[in-house]
Amino acid sequence: MVSRLLPLVSCLLLLASCGFPGAIRPMVKIGLVAPFEGRYRYVGYDVIYAARLAVREANVAGGVGGYSVELVAYDDGADPLEALEQARKLVVDPEVVAAIGHFRGETTTAALDVYADAGISLVSPGLIGLHADALAGELLQYVNDGGLDGAALVTEGGPLGVALGDNVRIGPVVSLADEGWLEQVLASGAEAVICDAAPVAAGEALKALRAAGWEGVFLGGPELAAADFAAVAGEAAEGVLFVTPWPFPQDALDSAEFVAAYRAMGPHVPPPGPLALPAYEATWQVVEALERDIAANGAPTRAGMAAALEAAEWGDEMLYWYRVDEGGALVHIDSTD
């Protein structure tokens, strides 16, 4: 992913560098909405440094089409009502021509109509729903190839669970909201459990299964990359496998330069997590669309950005397998097209 981005960034910087030294450039804004407080605050702090890095690179190179780019960030706390409110705040600023967010399915869905009514394009990297079918297929393939006898689905009703629940090879399908879900899984004799729950709930579910003596393979999607999952599950998390469309940056090809630049964004910036690359790529896609919009219309507009983003090429989808090791360490074990 990074190897594909760097040539794009280099070409775009050359286009953006035509300007006069000392000239005061007009401003155009990109919005970013993510959870910076609460349970999912790690998501916000994973993505904001990546988005800031992309914007800084564009501005250092001379701006975009004669404009300086400003990133304006809002905290939705991973709460749908707060997401609605923050989206309303964002769209009333006429200098905001596009938005990136909200990095959770429920908050993104809650805010969609606000952006649509304002004519603002919302770029939504990191949403499981966009990859649910591919992830479900990969998980089922693992169960089949491993010769595992039965796979139960433990779900909270998310898009990955919906994609898996439609498959006749999955059973039983149990909800964590229902009493007796644990007994149903144990009684089924399933040697694999696929879980689509949020990180804390998934950790609690795994602990309950292990405490009841279940020794099968616990599988899931990108939610299991969260530190909250391993923290809640404790030792039970060791050996868990999950598949994700977003590699940790250090596991992507030619990523050393990106990781170094990301860490240099501040004195205490942690290593980039699994949503850093999607956020960085999404921000550069918005910047590139901004370049096309200005070239076509002479100035950035919300309608022009919508057309430019619709024509963007987002690259091929890859999936990455990880294993949770001792202490919650995540180890990249395989990649697949």
Q: What is the pLDDT of residue 316?
A: 63
HEC string of the chain?
CHHHHHHHHHHHHHHHCCCCCCCCCCEEEEEEEECCCCCCHHHHHHHHHHHHHHHHHHHHCCCECCEEEEEEEEECCCCHHHHHHHHHHHHCCCCEEEEEECCCHHHHHHHHHHHHHHCCEEECCCCHHHHHHHHHHHHHHHHHHCCCCCEEEEECCCHHHHHHHCCCCEEEEEECCCCCHHHHHHHHCCCEEEECCCHHHHHHHHHHHHHCCCCCEEEECHHHHCHHHHHHHHHHHCCCEEEECCCCHHHCCCCHHHHHHHHCCCCCCCCCCCCHHHHHHHHHHHHHHHHHHHHHHCCCCHHHHHHHHHCCCCCCCCEEEEEECHHHCEEEEEEEC
Q: What is the pLDDT of residue 168?
A: 60
132-186 pLDDT tens trace? 999 999 999 999 999 999 999 999 999 999 999 877 678 899 999 999 999 999 9
Q: What is the pLDDT of residue 15?
A: 35
Rounded average pLDDT over 70-80: 97
| This prediction's pTM | 0.86
Please provide the average confidence, as pLDDT, over all residues in the chain. Answer: 90
Q: What is the pLDDT of residue 199?
A: 94
Q: What percent of the chain has pLDDT over 90?
A: 78
Sorted by where each starts, the structural domains of the chain and their CATH numbers stand as 2-126+249-310 (3.40.50.2300), 130-244 (3.40.50.2300)
231-280 pLDDT tens trace? 999 999 999 999 999 989 988 877 899 999 999 998 889 999 989 999 99
